[in-house]
Amino acid sequence: MADKKGAIGKFLIELLIVFIGVYGAFELNRYQEGNRERKIKRNYLISFKSELVGVRGQTRDLREKISSIVKDFEEQYAAGERPALHPPEIYFGSALLITQIGLTDDVFVQLDPSLASSLSGGYDLVQRTREQVKDFNDLCNAKLVSKAPPEFYDRQGKLKPEYDWYLAGLKDLEAKLASLVTIIDEGAMPGTNQLLEELE
C-alpha cells in the first residue's frame, strides 16, 4: 500500500514537473514572440518617424517656395508691374511618397487606434495634393510654355481672366501643404513618439 502511494506521489510529482516545464516553455516562447513583435513595431516606427521628418522639411520648403512666388507676384502686380507667369516646378521627393503609404489608417490600427485616428485623411490629402501638383504643373506647361511668350495682360495692365488659375492654384496648394504639416506635427509625430516611448 505504501509502495502504491509512493508510486502515485512520484507520478504526480513527475506530472507536475512536466506541466511546469511545458507551461514554462510556452511562456518563454510567448515572451520571445512578444519581444520580436516589439522590435518589429519599434523598427517600423523609427523608420516612419525618419520619413516624417523628411516630409515635414520638404513640405515646409515647398510652402516657402510657393509663398515666395505668390508674394513676389502680388507685390509686383500691386506696384503696376506686369510680372510674367512662370511654371514654379513644384515636385515632391521620395520621402513624401513613402510617408503617404505610412499615413494609411490600416497600418496603425494594429499598433494604436488613437494614432490611426489622428492620421485620418492623411493618405487622401497626400494623394489629392500630389494629383493637384501634377495637374498644376501640366497646366503651367501647356499654358505658360511656348515659343512665342503668351500675353498675360490686357491693355489696362490687368491679368487676363484665363490666367486666374495660376495664383488660385498656388494658394490652394499652399493651404493643402499647411494641412499636411498640421497632420504631421499634431498627429503623426506626437503619436509615433508616444508609441516609441511605450515600446522602450
Q: What are 185-196's pLDDT values in tens digits?
A: 887 788 788 878
Confidence of residue 32 (pLDDT cuts 50, 70, 90): confident
- The larger pLDDT score, comparing residue 51 to residue 104, is at 51
- Does residue 164 carry a pLDDT above 70? yes
- Does residue 74 carry a pLDDT above 90? yes
Q: Give tens-digit pLDDT for 110-127.
A: 555 555 555 656 667 777
| C-alpha cell, 97 | 511618397
Residues in the chain: 200
| C-alpha cell, 200 | 522602450
Average confidence score pLDDT of the chain: 79
Mean pLDDT in residue range 40-67: 84
Identify the pLDDT of residue 93. 64
- Does residue 100 carry a pLDDT above 80? no
Residue environment code for 81-101, b if the CB has 16+ CB neighbours within 10 A, otherwise e: eebebebbebebeebbebbbe
Identify the pLDDT of residue 83. 92
What is the DSSP track for 118-175?
A: HTTTHHHHHHHHHHHHHHHHHHHHHHT--SSPP--B-TTSPBPGGGHHHHHHHHHHHH
**Which DSSP helix (H) or strand (E) runs through 104?**
none
Which neighbouring-strand residues pair with 159? 153
Identify the pLDDT of residue 168. 94
DSSP secondary structure code for residue 86 in this structure: -
- Report pTM: 0.70
Identify the pLDDT of residue 120. 59
User: Residue with C-alpha cell 494658394?
Assistant: 171
Tell me how far apart the alpha carbons of residues 200 and 195 are, in angstroms, rounded to a whole number: 9
User: Hey, which of 41-45, 126-130, 153-157 has the most confident mean pLDDT?
Assistant: 153-157
Identify the pLDDT of residue 165. 94
- Does residue 34 carry a pLDDT above 80? no
Of 118-122, 141-145, 146-150, least confident by mean pLDDT is 118-122
